[in-house]
Chains A and B, each alone.
Chain A
Amino acid sequence: MNPDIVTHVIGGYLGAGKTSFVRSVLTTTTIPVAVIVNDFGSINIDRALLSRHGDNLVEMTNGCLCCAVGDSLAEAIFTIMDHPQRPSTLLIETSGVADPAAVNAFTHLPGLVDGGTVVLVDAANALATHRDRRVTRTFERQLRAADLVAITKTDIVEANQARAVVDLVASIVEDTPILKAHPEVLGRIVAPVAVTTPIVASHDEFIATHATDFVFDDEQALRAHLEALPASTVRVKGIVALSDGSVREVHRVGALVSVTMSELAPTGMIVIEAPSTTSGHPSRAGPGID
Chain B
Amino acid sequence: MTTDHDVIYTARLIRTANPSRPTAEAVAVRDGKVLAVGTLAECTEWGITNIDTRFADKVLTAGFVEAHAHTMAGMYHAIPYVGWFARRMPDGSRVDGVRSTAELIERLSRIASGTPEGESIVVAGFDPIYMDTERLNRDHLDAASTVHPIFVFHANAHLATVNSALLSKHSINEDSTAPGVGRFDDGRLNGELREPAAMALARDEFRFIGHTVGSTETFFHFSAAMRDAGITTVADLGNLFHANEQSRQRLHEMTVPHEFPIRFVSASRLGGATTDVDTALEQVLASRSHAHDKLHFPVVKLVLDGSIQGFTAMVSWPGYFTGEDHGLFLVPPDSVVDLLRPFHRAHIGIHCHCNGDLTSQVFIDAVEQLLSEHAWLDHRHTITHAQLMTPAQMRKARNLGMVANFFVNHMWFWGDQHRHLTVGPDRAQHLNPCATADRIGLGYSIHTDAPVTPPGHLHTMWAATQRRTPSGDVLGTSERISIDRAFHAATIDAAYQLHMDHLVGSLEVGKFADMTVLEKDPYEVDPDDVADIAVWGTVLSGRPQPANGS
B328 within 8 A of A: yes
Contact A105 B332 (CB under 8 A): no
B42 within 8 A of A: no
Contact A41 B279 (CB under 8 A): yes
Interface string of A26-69 (1 = CB under 8 A from B): 00000000000011111000000000000100000000000011
Which of B180, B240, B246, B329 is A71 in contact with, Cβ under 8 Å?
Answer: B240
C-alpha gap A58/B333 in the complex (Å) = 30
Give min CB distance, A172 to chain B, whole Å.
Answer: 18
C-alpha gap A134/B177 in the complex (Å) = 32
B272 within 8 A of A: yes
Contact A70 B243 (CB under 8 A): yes
Which bracket fits the contact residues of A?
35 or more
Contact B328 A138 (CB under 8 A): yes
Interface string of A77-100 (1 = CB under 8 A from B): 110000000000000000111000
B358 within 8 A of A: yes
Give min CB distance, A79 to chain B, whole Å.
Answer: 11
Contact A73 B335 (CB under 8 A): no
**188-205 of chain B: CB within 8 A of chain A:** 195-201, 203
Say whether, besides A42-B276, A105-B195, A74 and B178 are in contact (CB < 8 Å). no
Contact A71 B210 (CB under 8 A): yes
C-alpha gap A105/B180 in the complex (Å) = 8
A109 within 8 A of B: yes
Contact A69 B273 (CB under 8 A): yes
Which of A14, A39, A55 is B273 in contact with, Cβ under 8 Å?
Answer: A39
Which of A40, A73, A96, A132 is B196 in contact with, Cβ under 8 Å?
Answer: A73
Contact A39 B200 (CB under 8 A): no
Contact A95 B197 (CB under 8 A): no
Which of B203, B246, B278 is A41 in contact with, Cβ under 8 Å?
Answer: B278
Contact B276 A39 (CB under 8 A): yes
Interface string of B212-240 (1 = CB under 8 A from A): 00100000000000000000000000001
A168 within 8 A of B: no
B179 within 8 A of A: yes
**Closest 8 interchain pairs by CB?**
A41-B276, A105-B197, A108-B178, A41-B279, A74-B200, A14-B332, A106-B197, A69-B273
Which of A75, A95, A106 is B207 in contact with, Cβ under 8 Å?
Answer: A75
Residues from chain B with Cβ under 8 Å of A73 in the complex? 196
B39 within 8 A of A: no
Contact A74 B275 (CB under 8 A): no
Residues from chain B with Cβ under 8 Å of A220 in the complex? none
C-alpha gap A102/B180 in the complex (Å) = 10
Interface string of A181-196 (1 = CB under 8 A from B): 0000000000000000
Contact B328 A97 (CB under 8 A): yes
Residues from chain B with Cβ under 8 Å of A75 in the complex? 207, 210
Residues from chain B with Cβ under 8 Å of A134 in the complex? 314, 329, 333, 358, 362
A13 within 8 A of B: yes
For this complex, 21 residue pairs linking A to B, each with C-beta atoms less than 8 Å apart, are: A39-B273, A39-B275, A39-B276, A40-B276, A41-B275, A41-B279, A69-B273, A70-B273, A71-B214, A73-B196, A74-B196, A78-B200, A95-B275, A96-B331, A97-B331, A105-B195, A106-B197, A110-B201, A134-B329, A135-B329, A138-B328
C-alpha gap A132/B197 in the complex (Å) = 29
Interface string of A133-151 (1 = CB under 8 A from B): 0110110000000000000
Interface string of B272-288 (1 = CB under 8 A from A): 11111011100000000
Say whether, besides A70-B240, A70-B273, A78-B203, A97 and B332 are in contact (CB < 8 Å). yes
Residues from chain A with Cβ under 8 Å of B196 in the complex? 72-74, 106
Contact A108 B179 (CB under 8 A): yes
Which of A39, A69, A72, A105 is B279 in contact with, Cβ under 8 Å?
Answer: A39
B525 within 8 A of A: no
Give min CB distance, B250 to chain A, whole Å.
Answer: 11
C-alpha gap A178/B3 in the complex (Å) = 78
Contact B335 A96 (CB under 8 A): yes
Give min CB distance, B360 to chain A, whole Å.
Answer: 13
Give min CB distance, A165 to chain B, whole Å.
Answer: 17
C-alpha gap A132/B201 in the complex (Å) = 36
Residues from chain A with Cβ under 8 Å of B279 in the complex? 39-41
Say whether, besides A74-B206, A74-B210, A134-B358, A38 and B273 are in contact (CB < 8 Å). yes
| Nearest neighbor of B181 in chain A, beta-carbon distance | A108
B550 within 8 A of A: no
**74-121 of chain B: CB within 8 A of chain A:** none
| Nearest neighbor of B206 in chain A, beta-carbon distance | A74
| Nearest neighbor of B201 in chain A, beta-carbon distance | A109
Give min CB distance, A52 to chain B, whole Å.
Answer: 14
C-alpha gap A109/B176 in the complex (Å) = 10
Give min CB distance, B357 to chain A, whole Å.
Answer: 12
| Nearest neighbor of A44 in chain B, beta-carbon distance | B276
C-alpha gap A59/B494 in the complex (Å) = 44
Give min CB distance, A7 to chain B, whole Å.
Answer: 12
Give min CB distance, A111 to chain B, whole Å.
Answer: 10
| Nearest neighbor of A76 in chain B, beta-carbon distance | B273
Which among A19, A39, A101 has the greatest number of chain B C-beta atoms within 10 A?
A: A39
Give min CB distance, A2 to chain B, whole Å.
Answer: 15
Residues from chain B with Cβ under 8 Å of A40 in the complex? 276, 279
Give min CB distance, A158 to chain B, whole Å.
Answer: 21
Give min CB distance, A68 to chain B, whole Å.
Answer: 7
Residues from chain B with Cβ under 8 Å of A135 in the complex? 329, 332-333
C-alpha gap A68/B180 in the complex (Å) = 25
Give min CB distance, A11 to chain B, whole Å.
Answer: 13
Say whether, besides A14-B334, A77-B200, A110 and B210 are in contact (CB < 8 Å). no
B440 within 8 A of A: no
C-alpha gap A137/B362 in the complex (Å) = 17
C-alpha gap A15/B199 in the complex (Å) = 31
